[in-house]
Chain A
Amino acid sequence: MKTKNLILFTLISSFFLIFIVSIWKILATLQGLNIQNFNLQIIFIFGVLISFANLRIGNKIKDFYKSILFSIIFVICDGYLIQKLPLWYNIGIFLILYFFVNKINKYSFVNLREQHSTQVIFFEFLTLFGILFFSFVILFPFYMMLITSFKTQIALLVNPLDFSINFGQDLKSLFKSYFVIFESYNFGRYILTSTIVSVGTVIITLIFAIPAAYAIARLNFFGKTFMSTSILIIYMFPAIVLVIPLYTIFSQLGLRNSIEGLLIVYTATTLPVAIYMLQGYFKSIPKELEEAAILDKLSWFGIITKIIIPLSIPAISSVALYVFMIAWNEFLFSLMFLDNPNSFTLSRAIQYLSGDAETPRQYLMAGSVVVTLPVLFIFVYFEKYLVSGLTTGSVKG
């Protein structure tokens, strides 16, 4: 039992080591280092040796010295056996090893004898692996988007693996792609259109949704249950089904290529979510307040503006942020309804840019950064509001 656990432990930990070192090597390759081989076997052997030695030494030396010792040994061997590389690469390797040895320090022969110890170890390393893996997989495209927007066409073609940015150049040439998209591709105008459309959608949606949500949450009327269930069904309805009839109707009414047309469609598609999220919150407001207001002879308008809205500012702001994000990210309707570059939104403009095969990709990526940044900023900044709302309402997508 003990040897089996020992073998499993060393295997799992060395696979984990292989994984983190490989990620570091990929990142180093992308900084222009010439690494052509992962040398997995050597790292694997080291992993096994280090985890075994770590168990063997146990508490005889202080953890700190142990970590430093193993890390230095690995870095030196890595430099000699595999490849001589710059100092920053070796510092990275050293830190990774330090982290790794610290992680395995808490295991000892005593732990391994416990019940289910291999499964516990497996789950712990799986969690660590997952954290690193998902961070890498998710952040890498964003990282690439940002870096590519700072590069030049020639640099991209000569070495697609070189992700390093030359900070020595002046700001004007570093941000060249951004200057170009604003000056020659009219991005200022598209940002303005997108902002008008998104903010407009938020305002109109709230004006329509707050009274309706209030009525559904509080008042008794015929068709109330029908309405609250149909909200969800309508919410599930696919946009692609609406596209053709809306296109024909909007063409005949002359609403295509207009901001008004987009505002109408966006408002209608976001209303169900907004009503659903708001009515849930309104129900949680104590009824006594309104009863007092009715005794004071306040009209429904007064009740909504003086009691409901001030009390539900958090819910309203999270709905507003959502609607903003949906409208800002929307692509399908802007593709269908806009074909005049003067009325493009940002998303549509980027798609239009990419349609031209001649467009250098760093401009495309600069545009992508411009359209992504506001959304990510809002999301990170207001994350607390948004996450709780996401599970109740959830953004359509």
Chain B
Amino acid sequence: MKDTLAITEKKTAYILTLPAVALVFAIILFPIFANVWISFKEVELKDIRIPEPRAKKIIKSISEDPSKIKILYKLRNSSLLQEVREVSFQDKFPRNFEIENLDPRCEFKKYTLRCKFGNWPAKYRENFQVVFETNDGSKIDKKAIKSTKPKLDGTSDNILLNTNFTLKNFKKVLFNNEFVDLLLTTFYYTFFGTVGSIIFGILTAQMVNQKFYGRTFMRSVLLFPYVAPVVALAYTWELLLDPNSGTLNSLLINYQIIETPINLLGQKYININILGFDFKLRLALTTVIMFEIWRYFPLAFLFILARLQAIPKELYEAADVDGASPFQKFFNITLPQITAVISILFMIRFIWNFNKFEDVFLLTGGASGTRTLPINVYQQGFTISDIGMGSAVSIVIVALLLLFMFFYFKLLGKRVDEN
């Protein structure tokens, strides 16, 4: 009795989870494997389309004889690159139809025209014409003929399914001169974006954790950048930073802080002089990182605030009795309490920033030194139309992420052991 209950429970569980698991498998896990497959192939965007035979039906009435009709099929191979083999054709006609001059490739049986056109090379085109006559001399209804569509079939190679593999894509990705630069840009973007958003998160959480008038309102306001759509925010920032008539540049010029406008999103380097040392700051990248921090510190803020509110009040009361200063309280009580949250946040944000595509794409499109790896996936795959290369870059991203996670957990595990 107990066994059957356990079995029904199991069965129910599988039935309940199956739809979700199947969908996630099809849309998330399968593509990851497909990515590995594609990355070892030479595929371009234009190769993806499966070649298929197509026909356009044009009906022409013959003016002197209403019982006759001419039908023109414009046949073509949809692909400009590949052939279609064993094309078959089929179209149905009303019962009182008879055909004139049957093409040798075709046969007309049971009111159906069937043809075998053989192999069509790439770019193949043919105008195929048939003439029909009604056997009882009645008028032909053109609409009825128009409503039936011809069916065409053919086999062709799907470039994705053959087994020609190559290492060319990976060679191109890894031994390209730009690769180190790409990696560095991605790293700067990810690292500073993550650290910045966590620092701002700590500051704001600490701030909102105090009592003041309008605190709940402040909490919602702080989350605005995180919940609003990227598209709207990115274009607003672009407008704000625009060198010609952007608000920020106009303000700075108005207050005589700068003399000429700075193109914050379009200038790769800017020279900065600090204490006699010349620095070359990557300006566009810095701006993009600022946007990143601005948009994502709310997540850090929320996590840290939730943790702060869970710290027992007694700790602070005890510290007050001991005469600890606010700084001491922060560094000796608050900070140790939130390190766990910070380390989780660091990992989450690092992974997500590493893969961030939309923000950079919308702000700069990857120009002026802001090309990160995800941008490169898009550019290789869709701008240069080399799907294989794009896949190879995304495989590199996954590999780097796994490496990061491995070391991160190893490091974290060690620290937990020490404690």
Contacts and interface: CB of A to CB of B under 8 A. Distances in A.
B17 A248 contact: no
Interface in B212-235: 212, 216, 218-233, 235
A264 B27 contact: yes
Interface residues of B, number: 97
A375 interface: yes
Given A220-B10, A224-B13, A328-B229, A145 B236 contact: yes
Contacts of B326: 116, 119-120, 122-123
A85 interface: no
Given A227-B21, A368-B231, A237 B28 contact: yes
Contacts of A137: 294
Nearest to B345: A394
B12 interface: yes
A252 B34 CA distance: 14
Interface string A111-153: 0000110011011001100110011011111101100100000
B27 A246 contact: yes
Nearest to A140: B240
A367 B295 CA distance: 20
Contacts of B50: 252
A211 B16 contact: yes
Interface stretch (B108-116, B267-275, B351-359): B351-359
B227 A212 contact: no
Interface stretch (A48-56, A268-276, A311-319): A268-276
Interface in A301-355: 325, 328-329, 331-332, 335-336, 346-347, 350-351, 354
Nearest to A157: B245
A363 to B, nearest CB: 11
Contact of B254 (A36, A208, A224, A325): A36
Interface in A361-384: 361, 364-365, 367-369, 371-372, 375-376, 379-380, 383
B88 to A, nearest CB: 21
Interface in B364-394: 374, 377-378, 381-382, 387, 390-391, 394
Contact of A376 (B38, B228, B239, B255): B228
Nearest to B381: A244
A214 interface: yes
Contacts of A372: 228-229, 232
Interface residues of A, number: 103
Contacts of A379: 220, 223-224, 227
B16 A212 contact: yes
A38 B377 CA distance: 47
B28 A268 contact: yes
A379 B226 CA distance: 11
Given A271-B24, A300-B16, A329 B230 contact: yes
B245 A36 contact: no
A357 interface: no
B13 A234 contact: no
Contacts of A346: 229
A132 to B, nearest CB: 10
B24 A234 contact: yes
Contact of B237 (A30, A141, A242): A141
B35 A241 contact: yes
14 contacts: A138-B221, A212-B17, A220-B9, A234-B29, A242-B35, A243-B377, A244-B391, A328-B229, A346-B229, A364-B235, A364-B239, A390-B299, A390-B302, A396-B352
